[in-house]
């Protein structure tokens, strides 16, 4: 099987379009069709379903070839980058996906440090929800995922980084703003700006509220930490968020952060990556830097 054929097939599955796959590979649509037919003859299996006005969809066999093919292509790119660099200098691209609260606040200084140490490496960072970060790892679209409350799965390796303290945040005009700390009971009946129900941090907060017998009034739900902060600043309710995500607002006086005095709530953060896939040298080096700088352990 030729690598060019495998890449064209993967591009076809991702785009769902023969036209787009042809453009990405600088060939004609008929050439892509011929490549797909050659793969189907080789494996004696139908790999894609065509027609119906909905584009191209992979069959079960096609999905398997796509998922494994993406891993092969990624490993080949990493190998080529290492072999092309004289003297063993590290080079290549590290694809990272992270949740907003980590990516926007904790990650940037470490990315800058890594790029200073390895100027020939590129780091591509995308921000997404936890479930999509996990999906990206499982599919091989990304090298490293950085999430809160990393779930251990058979297919994923988890590298612990650190625990973040969650704090109560209120607007400066709120009745709790003059306190040094808050209690869980003090939140009873409060209007509450919450994370979306699919976010692991939301589930941890809900469990803690139930444990303390506290009911709050959910006013809005968001999957983006920045939107939550803006809503609290606007007086739409209180919230519970990672402490390091509100330091700038606390310094500016637009938010007040209160530690939970009767039971601190911590949020573990970790790196995830596909267990069966060997990390490239740049990806491994970046993971090692995060572990070293963020205080985690393998």
Q: Domains in the chain, please, with CATH?
A: 3-74 (1.10.10.10), 80-162+268-294 (3.40.190.10), 164-267 (3.40.190.10)
Q: What percent of the chain has pLDDT over 90?
A: 53
Q: Answer whether residue 174 shows pLDDT above 70.
A: yes
Task: Give the pLDDT band (50/70/90) at residue 84.
Answer: low
Report the C-alpha gap between 103 and 110 in whole angstroms: 10
Round the average pLDDT of the chain to a whole number and report it: 88
Which pLDDT belongs to residue 101? Answer: 85
Which tens digits make up the pLDDT trace of 93-138? 899 999 988 888 888 999 999 999 888 889 999 988 888 899 888 8
pLDDT for residue 288 is more than 50: yes
Per-residue pLDDT averaged across 266-293, rounded? 88
| Among 163-177, 192-206, 250-264, 270-284, the least confident range | 270-284
297 pLDDT higher than 50: no
Q: What is the pLDDT of residue 83?
A: 64
Query: CA separation (Å) from 26 to 7, 12, 23, 257?
Result: 12, 13, 5, 54
Residue 41, pLDDT score: 92
- pLDDT value at position 51? 59
Q: Which of 85-99, 122-136, 175-189, 243-257 has the lowest mean pLDDT?
A: 85-99
pTM of the model: 0.66
φ, ψ of residue 188 to 5 degrees: the values are -60, 125
The larger pLDDT score, comparing residue 201 to residue 20, is at 201
């Amino acid at each position: 099987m030729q690598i060019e054929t495998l890449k064209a097939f993967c591009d076809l599955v991702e785009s769902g379009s023969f036209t787009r796959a042809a453009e990405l590979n600088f060939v004609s649509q008929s050439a892509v069709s011929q490549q797909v037919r050659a793969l189907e003859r080789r494996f004696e299996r139908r790999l894609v379903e065509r027609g119906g006005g909905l584009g191209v969809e992979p069959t079960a066999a096609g999905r398997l070839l796509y998922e494994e093919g993406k891993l092969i292509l990624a490993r080949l790119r990493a190998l080529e980058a290492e072999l092309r660099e004289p003297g063993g200098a590290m080079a290549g691209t590290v694809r990272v996906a992270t949740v907003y609260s980590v990516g926007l606040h904790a990650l940037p200084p470490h990315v800058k440090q890594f790029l200073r140490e390895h100027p020939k490496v590129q780091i591509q960072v995308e921000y997404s929800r936890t479930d999509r970060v996990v999906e990206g790892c499982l599919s091989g679209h990304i090298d490293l995922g950085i999430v809160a409350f990393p779930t251990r799965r058979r297919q994923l390796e988890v590298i612990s980084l650190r625990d973040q303290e969650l704090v109560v945040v209120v607007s400066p005009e709120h009745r709790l703003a003059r306190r040094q700390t808050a209690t869980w009971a003090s939140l009873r009946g409060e209007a509450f700006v919450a994370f979306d129900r699919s976010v692991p941090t939301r589930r941890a907060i809900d469990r803690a509220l139930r444990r303390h017998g506290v009911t709050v009034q959910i006013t809005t739900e968001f999957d983006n930490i920045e939107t939550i902060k803006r809503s609290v600043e606007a007086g739409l309710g209180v919230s519970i968020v990672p402490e390091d995500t509100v330091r700038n607002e606390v310094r500016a006086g637009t938010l007040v952060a209160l530690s939970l005095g009767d039971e601190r709530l911590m949020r573990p953060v970790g790196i995830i990556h596909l267990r069966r896939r060997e990390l490239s040298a740049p990806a491994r080096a970046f993971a090692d830097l995060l572990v070293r700088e963020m205080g985690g352990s393998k």
